Structure formats: C-alpha cells, structure tokens
C-alpha cells in the first residue's frame, strides 16, 4: 500500500493550457511558510484498462441486484435501442474518452446496430456543448465519426413521466432514454460541493431528468441562511440533496424495470493523474456508494493546520465563474478565519450561467454600499460581516421564491465569503468584463500579461503588509481535511 507523501515541492498551478510557475517568493519556501499538503496515499492504478472494462461488462459487481451486461445481452436483449449516458463539457471527461470507444465496439460485436445506439449527454440544466467542446468530451475516435448518434439532453422537452415524489413533484426522465431497451451510465466519481459525490445516480437526476425534479432536488440544499446541515462536499449520509436524489432514482429504476428497461452502471474512479484505480459494473446506486470508498483513498488530502493564504487553481473548472466556485469551496476548508483565498481561473466563458449573474445583481449593491462605508472609516470586520449576511439573505430569499437551476451558486459563493471575511476572496482571471467583475464579491489580481508574474506580484505585495503561511492546491477536486477533519 503506498504511503502518504507530503507535498513540499516548488508548486505549480494549471491555468488554461499552461502551468504557472515561479510565483512563490523564495523566503516563503526557505522560512518554511509553505504549509505541506499531504496528498492521498492512493491505490494502485489498473494495468490493463481495456481488460477491466471487459470485466465490468461481463461480471456484475452487484449480482444480487442486476446481472452483468453480458448476461443480459445473452438472455434478454430483443434488438431494441441502447442509450449510453455520458458527461457534458463541464466535466474532465477523461474516463469516457478512454472507455466509450471500447464500449461501442463491444456493443457492435454483439449485434447492436449503429442506428440502435444513442449517446446521450447528461447536460442536466447546462447549455448544449459548443462545437469546439465535442472533441474534449469524446476524443478523436468518437468525434466526429459518431456525431449523428450523439444527443444533448433537454430538460424541458421529450420527457416521460414516472409518477410523482411524496412532495408531488413530477418524476420525469429523458424520453430517448426512457424508450430504450437498455440504459448504460458511463460515469466517474468525484466530490460535489452540495450533492456530496457526483457520478452514478447523478447521471439520472439531474443529468437526464426533467427540470421540475432537478429543481426540487436542488432546493433541498438550503437552510434559513446558507446551506442546510450535511449539504457539503463528500457527505452522503444525512445530506438532504443526496437523499432526495436517491429516492427519485429508486422510483425511476423501479418504473423502468417494470416496463422491461435494463439499467446498468459502469463507474470508474480516476486519480489526480487521470489513471484508473477502479472500474466496475453493476447497480447504479449501490456501486456509487461502494466505489466512493476508493475515491476517498485518492482524493482526501490533509494539511496540519489552517493557512493564512490558500491559493487554488480551478484547473478544468476554470471555464467560468459558475464552475470555478467549486474550487473556492474546496479552498475555504483550509484557510483560517480572516485569511485569504486566491482562485486562479481564466473564466473565458464569463459567468457561465445567466441565473447566477442576475442574482449577483441583488448582492452587488449591498456589498458596494458597505465598501463605501468602510472606505469612509467604518470597521471592516463588523460592517463587512453584516453586509455579507444581508447580501446572502437577500439572494437566498430570491432563490427560494423562484428557484431555477444556477441560483444555488451565489448562495454558495456568499457562504464562502462569509467564512473568509470581508475583502478576503481574490480572483486571478482574464475572461471577465469590467461589468461582470463589478457584480462579484472578489478583489482582483489585476494587470495584463503573464498570470504567474501577476500572482507573484500580488504575493509580494501581501508579504509587505503581512508575512503569511501559504497553502497551494493544484487540484480543485481534492477534499482537504485539516488535522484529520474535513
């Protein structure tokens, strides 16, 4: 079993298609002020991924719940449609670029014609992928050769109903999938800032669900102010979002089973180097819970103490502010109260969500007025804290009154701001307009040109006023625990 290693190397951070280096001044390293990040011990990588995929298709890891896909084909397949659910452009998509070609070949060799196969993108409430994003999602073996069999999910069109939840919410699923003889979910696991752990059942709800069900699922995240207890990264037990999702998926699976539709999950876990460490097939809910234990072994990192400054790269989540917020959520776990979080995210897609932007218009004037008062001499701690709470309450009231997907993001962002304190959220980016910047609670690392040089200049300026301890996180999907706690 590999041992945990303490990460004391000179740090670098991913930013678009490059790595930022040389941004940390030498005294921080020489004086031992770079807090070590104890990366996970990990598990051994799978030597032969193709063989592991074949086993996942031919041997069910949950045989008491669903047979292997191979067994189902041999005994029950009637020649109908097969729908494969895959991730959208907001995810790394490494697992599906690697596995989808083999899965499609496996199906074709078992007599499934091309016209019977649909690849359904679990867009949930996200926009359709752009032309340039399809190669990232599918790789050269699939795109563009299979473009005529690839379909984005639309959460308000072509839906089939499967009854209602106890609260009366319609349980609706993508019609193309619902009319199929088999649904194959090809997902991987990582932590999610309010759903606990993504992948698995999240492919169905919200991935290919109707908007009403997704809305009801998401509303479970809120308390009186901010998120409800246990609505957090990595938390499944007692998480009201996960529990609602699990019940919705259970009802969907029962309804599909009654009409003869076979649902089979192929779930993988990848390490931070994108190596496969687990790959199994079986029942979607059970396998998701089981493989979550593997996820913990490769993505739970530890630090000995809270840092004064946490600098985190949004990496693949840096497409827009909406996704980059997950990195800020991760970083806030490791910063001391009153410390600074610096998120490095290019955000070429701007806000990334129109609802997010509109809600920040509610918070922005409240925060600007307090900034004016602080500039005129008001106490930043008391005035700032009150302003953040008022902004959070105003935004959350608007969210709860007329919830639409994307509205949870400003609640999360302002909740993280509440943790760090006034003036302690920073963003290094290039893709936001001046108008958009004015709507967000960040302070910005300004300047043009080399982002690494800009980051170094900011650190040097910070050091002049307050020599600090620093934590550098190059992977926003890590679940950081401080002193053994999350």
Question: At which of 298, 329, 351 does a domain end?
Answer: 298
- Let me know if residue 324 belongs to a domain: yes
How far apart CA 310 and CA 332 sit, in angstroms, is 8
State the chain's maximal CA–CA distance in angstroms.
77
Q: In what helix (H) or strand (E) does residue 443 lie, and over which residues does it extend?
A: strand 443-444
Question: At which of 298, 320, 352 does a domain end?
Answer: 298
Which residues, other chains included, contact 330 with Cβ-Cβ below 8 Å and sequence gap of 6+? 193, 233, 312, 473, 476, 477, 478, 479, 480
> How many CB atoms are closer than 10 A to CB 375?
9
Q: Helix (H) and strand (E) counts for the chain?
A: 15, 21
Is 110 found in the same domain as 25?
no
pLDDT value of residue 55 = 98
How far apart CA 350 and CA 431 sit, in angstroms, is 6
- Let me know if residue 112 belongs to a domain: yes
pTM as predicted? 0.84
Length of the chain: 486
Q: Are 135 and 143 in contact (CB under 8 A)?
A: yes
By DSSP bridging, strand 276-282 and strand 262-270 are antiparallel
Residue 1: band (very low, low, confident or very high) from pLDDT cuts 50, 70, 90: very low
Encoding tokens for residue 188? 């991987």
Residue 339 CA, chain-centre distance (Å), reads: 24
Question: At which of 252, 267, 298 does a domain end?
Answer: 298
Is 414 found in the same domain as 473?
yes
Q: CA-CA-CA-CA torsion for 209, 213, 215, 218, nearest 10 degrees?
A: -90
- The per-residue pLDDT for range 326-375, each reduced to its tens digit, is 899 999 999 999 999 999 999 999 998 888 999 999 999 999 999 999 99
- Nearest by Cα to 222 from 193, 194, 191: 194
Is 335 found in the same domain as 476?
yes
pLDDT value of residue 2 = 44
- Let me know if residue 44 belongs to a domain: no
pLDDT value of residue 9 = 61
Tell me the three-class secondary structure of 9-78, residue by residue. Answer: CCCCEEECCEEECCCCCHHHHHCCCECCEEECCCCCCCCCHHHHHHHHHHCECCCCCCCCHHHHHHHCCC
pLDDT value of residue 350 = 93
Is 201 found in the same domain as 312?
no
φ and ψ at residue 200, rounded to 5 degrees? 60, -125
- The per-residue pLDDT for range 364-404, each reduced to its tens digit, is 999 999 999 999 999 999 999 999 999 999 999 999 888 76
Which residues, other chains included, contact 106 with Cβ-Cβ below 8 Å and sequence gap of 6+? 53, 54, 57
- The per-residue pLDDT for range 362-372, each reduced to its tens digit, is 999 999 999 99
Is 67 found in the same domain as 23?
no
Residue 484: band (very low, low, confident or very high) from pLDDT cuts 50, 70, 90: low
Encoding tokens for residue 170? 């319609």
Encoding tokens for residue 432? 């936001």
Which residue range is the domain that position 437 belongs to? 5-36+304-482
- Let me know if residue 28 belongs to a domain: yes
Q: Residue 6 pLDDT > 50, yes or no? A: no
How far apart CA 205 and CA 242 sit, in angstroms, is 10
Q: Residue 3 pLDDT > 50, yes or no? A: no
Can you say whether the dihedral through the CA atoms of 231, 237, 242, 247 is positive or negative?
Answer: negative
Average pLDDT over residues 208-231: 94
Is 270 found in the same domain as 366?
no
How far apart CA 470 and CA 34 sit, in angstroms, is 5
Residue carrying structure tokens 């303490």: 6
Is 441 found in the same domain as 420?
yes
- The per-residue pLDDT for range 84-116, each reduced to its tens digit, is 999 999 888 999 999 999 999 999 999 999 999
Q: Are 210 and 178 in contact (CB under 8 A)?
A: no
- Nearest by Cα to 129 from 146, 157, 150, 159: 150
- Let me know if residue 41 belongs to a domain: no
Q: Residue 477 pLDDT > 70, yes or no? A: yes
- Let me know if residue 276 belongs to a domain: yes
Encoding tokens for residue 440? 């967000």
Residue 42: band (very low, low, confident or very high) from pLDDT cuts 50, 70, 90: confident
Is 208 found in the same domain as 105?
yes
Average pLDDT over residues 407-430: 93
Q: At what angle do helices 94-109 and 49-58 cross, to 10 degrees?
A: 60
Is 257 found in the same domain as 393?
no
Q: Are 283 and 68 in contact (CB under 8 A)?
A: no
User: For position 374, which CATH number holds?
Assistant: 3.90.226.30
> How many CB atoms are closer than 10 A to CB 131?
7
Average pLDDT over residues 49-70: 98
Q: How many domains does the structure of the chain reveal?
A: 2
Q: Are 218 and 210 in contact (CB under 8 A)?
A: no
Is 220 found in the same domain as 351?
no
Q: What is the mean pLDDT of the chain?
A: 94
**Ramachandran sector of residue 449 (left: φ over 0; alpha: ψ -120 to 50; beta: rest):** left
- The per-residue pLDDT for range 150-195, each reduced to its tens digit, is 999 999 999 999 999 999 999 999 999 999 999 999 999 999 889 9
Q: Residue 60 pLDDT > 70, yes or no? A: yes
- Nearest by Cα to 251 from 141, 321, 172: 172
Is 337 found in the same domain as 464?
yes
User: For position 56, which CATH number holds?
Assistant: 3.40.50.11440
φ and ψ at residue 417, rounded to 5 degrees? -65, -40
Is 414 found in the same domain as 294?
no
How far apart CA 322 and CA 336 sit, in angstroms, is 24
The DSSP result for 328-360, as a single string, is: HHHHHTTEEEEEEEEEE---TTTTS-HHHHHHH
């Amino acid at each position: 079993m590999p041992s945990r290693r303490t990460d004391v190397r000179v740090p670098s951070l991913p930013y678009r298609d490059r790595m930022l280096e040389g941004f940390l001044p030498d005294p921080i390293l020489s004086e031992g002020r770079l807090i070590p990040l104890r990366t996970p011990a990990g598990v051994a990588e799978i030597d032969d991924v193709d063989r592991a995929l074949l086993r996942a298709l031919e041997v069910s890891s949950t045989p008491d719940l669903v047979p292997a896909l191979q067994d189902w084909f041999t005994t029950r397949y009637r020649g109908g449609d097969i729908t494969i659910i895959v991730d959208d452009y907001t995810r790394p998509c490494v697992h599906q670029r690697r596995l989808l070609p083999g899965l499609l070949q496996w199906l074709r060799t078992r007599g499934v014609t091309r016209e019977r196969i649909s690849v359904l993108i679990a867009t949930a409430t996200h926009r359709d992928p752009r032309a340039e994003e399809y190669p990232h999602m599918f790789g050269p073996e699939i795109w563009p050769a299979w473009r005529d069999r690839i379909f984005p999910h639309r959460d308000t069109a072509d839906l089939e109903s499967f009854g209602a939840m106890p609260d009366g919410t319609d349980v609706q699923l993508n019609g193309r999938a619902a009319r199929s003889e088999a649904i194959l979910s090809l997902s991987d696991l990582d932590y999610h800032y309010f759903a606990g752990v993504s992948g698995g059942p999240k492919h169905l709800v919200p991935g290919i669900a109707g908007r009403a069900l997704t809305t009801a699922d998401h509303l479970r995240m809120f308390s009186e102010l901010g998120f409800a207890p246990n609505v957090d990264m990595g938390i499944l037990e007692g998480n009201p979002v996960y529990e609602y999702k699990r019940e919705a998926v259970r009802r969907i699976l029962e309804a599909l089973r009654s009409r003869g539709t076979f649902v089979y999950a192929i779930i993988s876990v990848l390490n931070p180097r994108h190596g496969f460490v687990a790959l199994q097939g079986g029942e979607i809910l059970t396998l998701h819970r089981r493989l979550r234990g593997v996820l913990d072994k490769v993505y739970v990192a530890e630090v000995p103490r809270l840092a004064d400054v946490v600098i985190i790269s949004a990496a693949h989540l840096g497409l827009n502010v909406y996704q980059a917020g997950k990195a800020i959520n991760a970083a806030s776990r490791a910063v001391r109260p009153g410390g600074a979080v610096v998120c490095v995210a290019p955000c070429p897609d701007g806000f990334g969500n129109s609802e997010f932007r509109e809600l920040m218009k509610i918070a922005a004037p409240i925060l600007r007025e307090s900034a004016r008062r602080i500039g005129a001499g008001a106490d930043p701690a008391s005035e700032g804290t009150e302003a953040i709470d008022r902004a959070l309450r105003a935004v959350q009231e608007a969210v709860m009154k007329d919830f639409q997907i994307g509205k949870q993001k400003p609640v999360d962002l302002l909740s993280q701001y509440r943790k760090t304190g006034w003036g302690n959220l920073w963003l290094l980016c290039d893709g936001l307009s001046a108008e958009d910047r004015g709507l967000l609670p960040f302070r910005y690392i300004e300047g043009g040109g080399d982002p690494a040089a800009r980051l170094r200049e900011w650190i040097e300026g910070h050091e002049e006023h307050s020599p600090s301890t620093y934590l550098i996180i190059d992977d926003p999907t890590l679940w950081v625990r401080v002193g053994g706690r999350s």
